[in-house]
Amino acid sequence: MMILACYGRSLVLHGRILRALRLHCVENLVLASDPDREGEAIAWHILEMLQQQDALGENVTVARVVFHEITEASIKSALQMPREIDVNLVHAYLARRALDYLIGFNISPLLWRKLPGCQSAGRVQSAALSLICDRETEIDEFKPLEYWTIEVQLKFEESNTVVKDASFPAHLTHFSSKKLGQFSITSETEAKDVQQKIKLENFKVINSKRNTTRRNPPAPYITSTLQQEAANRLNFPATYTMKLAQKLYEGIQLSDGEATGLITYSRTDGLHISDEAVKDIRSSVTERYGPRFTPENACKYYKKVKNAQEAHEAIRPTNIRRLPSMLAGALDEDSLKLYTLIWSRTMACQMEPAITEQMQLEIGNCDESAIFRSSCSRVEFLGYQSAYQDDESETIGFKDNEVNRYAETFGILSSLKKGDRLYLGEVETKQHHTQTPPRYSEGSLVKKLEELGIGRPSTYASTLKVLRDRNYMTVKNRVLYPEFRGRMVSAFLSDHFSEVNDYSFTADMETELDNVSAGLTEWKGLLRDYWARFSSYCSRAASVHIHQVEKMLEKTFGDFLFASLPNKSRTCPSCMEGTLIFKVSRFGAGYFIGCDQHPKCKYIAKSLYGDEEDGESPQKNNNIEEPKLLGLHPGTNEKIFLKSGPYGHYVQLGENRTGYQPKRSSVSHIKNMDSITLEDALELLRYPVTLGEHPKDGHPVILKLARIGFAVRHRRTTDPVPKGMKPKDVTIEKALELLSSKDVRRSGRPKNKPKVEEEEEYI
Residue 754 confidence (pLDDT) above 80: no
Mean pLDDT, residues 254-269 taken together:
79
Mean pLDDT, residues 500-512 taken together:
77
Of the candidates 305, 649, 593, 612, which has an alpha carbon nearest to the alpha carbon of residue 470? 612
Residue 123: per-residue pLDDT: 82
Residue 21: per-residue pLDDT: 56
Tell me which of 222 and 743 has the higher pLDDT: 222
pTM across the whole model? 0.70
What string of DSSP letters covers 114-178? Answer: HSTT-----HHHHHHHHHHHHHHHHHHH----EEEEEEEEEEE-TT--SSTT-EEEEEEEEETTE
Residues 6+ apart with CB under 8 A from 545: none
**Cβ 710 vs Cβ 737: under 8 Å:** no
**Cβ 352 vs Cβ 292: under 8 Å:** yes
Residue 108 confidence (pLDDT) above 80: yes
Residue 398 confidence (pLDDT) above 60: no
**Band of the pLDDT at 691, cuts 50, 70, 90?**
confident
Return the bridge partners of 30, or none. 3, 63
**Three-state SS across 101-116?**
HHHHHHHHHHHHHHCC
**Cβ 299 vs Cβ 352: under 8 Å:** no
Of the candidates 92, 104, 102, 111, which has an alpha carbon nearest to the alpha carbon of residue 41? 92
Residue 628: per-residue pLDDT: 80
> How far is the C-alpha of 409 from the C-alpha of 358, rounded, in Å?
11
Residue 760 confidence (pLDDT) above 60: no
**Band of the pLDDT at 173, cuts 50, 70, 90?**
very high
Question: Quick check: helix, strand or coil at residue 570?
Answer: coil
Tell me which of 344 and 400 has the higher pLDDT: 344
**Cβ 58 vs Cβ 73: under 8 Å:** no
List the domains of the chain with CATH numbers: 2-85 (3.40.50.140), 92-142+443-544 (1.10.460.10), 146-216+356-433 (2.70.20.10), 223-348 (1.10.290.10), 689-746 (no CATH)
**Band of the pLDDT at 150, cuts 50, 70, 90?**
very high
> How far is the C-alpha of 712 from the C-alpha of 719, rounded, in Å?
6
> How far is the C-alpha of 388 from the C-alpha of 384, rounded, in Å?
8
C-alpha distances in Å from residue 178, one per residue of 147, 204, 419, 475:
17, 18, 22, 46
**Band of the pLDDT at 157, cuts 50, 70, 90?**
low
> How far is the C-alpha of 590 from the C-alpha of 595, rounded, in Å?
16
**Cβ 473 vs Cβ 459: under 8 Å:** no
**Cβ 314 vs Cβ 220: under 8 Å:** yes
**Cβ 344 vs Cβ 388: under 8 Å:** yes
Query: What does the chain come to in residues?
Result: 763
Q: Output phi, psi for 379, to 5 deg.
A: -80, 120
Sign of the Cα torsion 668, 674, 679, 682 reads: positive
Of the candidates 729, 728, 747, 732, which has an alpha carbon nearest to the alpha carbon of residue 700? 732
> How far is the C-alpha of 100 from the C-alpha of 567, rounded, in Å?
47
User: Considering the chain, what is the average pLDDT of its residues?
Assistant: 81
Residue 18: per-residue pLDDT: 58
Tell me which of 123 and 495 has the higher pLDDT: 495
Least confident window among 2-6, 94-98, 490-494: 2-6
**Cβ 588 vs Cβ 578: under 8 Å:** no
C-alpha distances in Å from residue 466, one per residue of 236, 471, 499, 586:
17, 9, 22, 26
Tell me which of 661 and 371 has the higher pLDDT: 371
**Three-state SS across 494-547?**
HHHCHHHHCHHHHHHHHHHHHHHHCCCCCHHHHHHHHHHHHHHHHHHHHCCCHH
Residue 329: per-residue pLDDT: 83
Mean pLDDT, residues 182-190 taken together:
93
Residue 392: per-residue pLDDT: 38
Residue 163 confidence (pLDDT) above 60: no
Residue 147: per-residue pLDDT: 95
**Cβ 361 vs Cβ 207: under 8 Å:** yes
**Cβ 134 vs Cβ 127: under 8 Å:** no
Least confident window among 71-85, 386-400, 479-493, 610-624: 610-624
Residue 508: per-residue pLDDT: 79
Residue 20: per-residue pLDDT: 58
**Cβ 154 vs Cβ 172: under 8 Å:** no
Question: Quick check: helix, strand or coil at residue 552?
Answer: helix
**Band of the pLDDT at 433, cuts 50, 70, 90?**
very high
Residue 225 confidence (pLDDT) above 50: yes
Residue 759 confidence (pLDDT) above 60: no
**Band of the pLDDT at 80, cuts 50, 70, 90?**
confident
Residues 6+ apart with CB under 8 A from 500: 103, 107, 123, 126, 493, 534, 537
Residue 155 confidence (pLDDT) above 70: yes
Residue 428: per-residue pLDDT: 92
Specify whether 265 is catalytic.
yes
Task: Please tell me which residue in 93, 221, 240, 265 is annotated as part of the active site.
Answer: 265
> How far is the C-alpha of 671 from the C-alpha of 697, rounded, in Å?
39
Least confident window among 180-194, 359-373, 394-408: 394-408
The DSSP code for 227 is H
**Band of the pLDDT at 244, cuts 50, 70, 90?**
very high
Beta pairing, strands 178-179 & 167-175: antiparallel
Residue 620 confidence (pLDDT) above 60: no
Mean pLDDT, residues 541-550 taken together:
90
Residue 258 confidence (pLDDT) above 70: no
Residue 630 confidence (pLDDT) above 80: yes
Residue 486 confidence (pLDDT) above 70: yes
Give the percent of the chain with pLDDT over 70. 84
Mean pLDDT, residues 602-628 taken together:
54
